[in-house]
Amino acid sequence: MDLFTNAINGLNSVVWCMGLVVLCLGAGLWFSVRMRFPQVRMFKEMVHLLVHGEKSDTGITPFQAFAATVGSRVRMGNIAGVATAIFFGGPGAVFWMWIIAFIGASSAFMESSLAQALR
C-alpha cells in the first residue's frame, strides 16, 4: 500500500507542478496577444448578442447557450475553491483570480472557436 501511495504522490507532483501553471498562463497570454485580446475587443459584441440574440426554430437562444456554457465550466468545485481562496488569501486572492480569469478567457475563446471549426 505504501508503494502505491508513493507512486500516486510522485505522479501528482509531476502533473501538478509549477510547469503546468506556467504552461497554462503562457498559453493564455500567447492566445490573448495572437488574437488581439478578444476578451476586450469583442466585449461589446458579446453583450449585444446576449441581449438581442435571435432565437431560431431549430436551436437555442444565445443566452441559453451562454448559461449552459457557464454551468458546465463553473461547477461546484470552483465555487468552493473561490471561498477557500478568499478565506486563506484574503482580498488579494480575488484580484489574482480576476487576472487569471482574464488570461484564461482567451484560452476558453480559442477552445470554443476550435470546437466550432472542427466539429
Q: Are 39 and 102 in contact (CB under 8 A)?
A: yes
Provide the domain count of the chain: 1
- Is the pTM here over 0.75, yes or no? no
Size of the chain in residues: 119
pLDDT digits (tens, 9 = 90+) for 78-106: 778 888 889 999 889 989 889 988 998 89
Helix axes 91-117, 18-34, angle to 10 degrees: 60
Average pLDDT over residues 2-21: 88
Domain ranges, residue 48: 2-117
Residue-level pLDDT at 76: 67
pLDDT of residue 30: 95
The answer to whether 27 touches 114, Cβ cutoff 8 Å, is no
CA–CA distance, 36 with 51 (Å, rounded to integer):
24
As a whole number, mean pLDDT of residues 34-48 equals 91
DSSP code at position 9:
H
pLDDT, greater one: 77 or 91: 91
